[in-house]
Amino acid sequence: MEEERLLFAQIEAGRKENQPLKAIFAQVAAATGRKPNSVRNYYYARVKEQDLQTQALHVGAFVPFGQDEIRQLLRRVLSAQANGISVRACTLEMGDGDNKAMLRYQNKYRSLLKTRPDLVRQVAAELAAEGVHFDPYAASRQSRVGRPRKESRVEAGELGRLLKQVEGVDGGALLEELHALALRAREQKHASQETSALKAYNATLRERLERQNAELEAQRERFHALLGMYRQLLGANREFLSTSGIAGMGSLSGYVRDLSRSVAAGEAALGDVSS
């Protein structure tokens, strides 16, 4: 089918360019005249029917867990928790630092806690026989004591159950994308708050700098005024000292007059500096 070939060709190209599925569905919808939701539903239906997980943009969402892998996952996560290591830290290490792989392990572990408690308790008993003791259900109950009920978890669980009942929709992949979007939104919110704080701080610094520049300019003007008065005082003294004898006595009154003017002007300027 031509539209199917176009869809999976776009998926392959999008995987190389790290495009989100939503954008690819929109491109195919525009090219075929269909609605993006119809393209999305058809894509997930074909992935399930033909086992085309390897062609999916988010491969990790469609790779099933084998029984051995499930038991190893439980053993590793339960052992890590027994040693005080969080589920996220353990699954991130299992995924070699890759967030998508971490989410695959983390979501599967949480799903096992809800859907296969008998298996979880069986593996926990095996670990206890080996000297590793941890009961995830007891730990979960203790962590909730005294805390308000988190409605968001109930709503998410209800959403997951509803999605499982919708034919042609991969609920796991959809929830993972919603989780990734929520994380990005939270990071963007924090970045926006930090940017606003930096802008406010920069504005405060700018105002402070402007005030300091104005004060510096005023001090510079006072300095030049004092320098001019000092030169006048030097000139008056130099002129008086250059005279001698009676001639010098005759110019004493003029010297005193000039000196008084210089002192008065200097005191006025110094008063401006200290004010």
pLDDT digits (tens, 9 = 90+) for 125-183: 999 999 999 999 886 665 555 555 444 444 566 666 666 666 666 767 777 777 788 88
Using a pLDDT cut of 90, give the percent of the chain over it: 18
- 56 closest CA partner among 24, 93, 13, 11: 11
Give the model's pLDDT for residue 224. Answer: 83
pTM: 0.34
- Calculate mean pLDDT across residues 111-129: 94
Task: Say what angle helices 87-94 and 67-82 make with each other, to 10 degrees.
Answer: 130
Give the model's pLDDT for residue 150. Answer: 45
Asked if pLDDT for residue 243 goes beyond 90, the answer is: no
Domain coordinates in residue numbering, the chain: 2-59, 65-144, 219-274
Cβ of 18: how many Cβ atoms within 10 Å? Answer: 7
Residues 6+ apart with CB under 8 A from 101: 60, 94, 95
- Calculate mean pLDDT across residues 212-228: 84
pLDDT digits (tens, 9 = 90+) for 20-79: 888 888 988 888 888 988 888 888 777 776 654 444 444 444 467 888 999 999 999 999
Give the model's pLDDT for residue 59. Answer: 44
Whether the Cβ atoms of residue 22 and residue 35 lie closer than 8 Å to each other = no
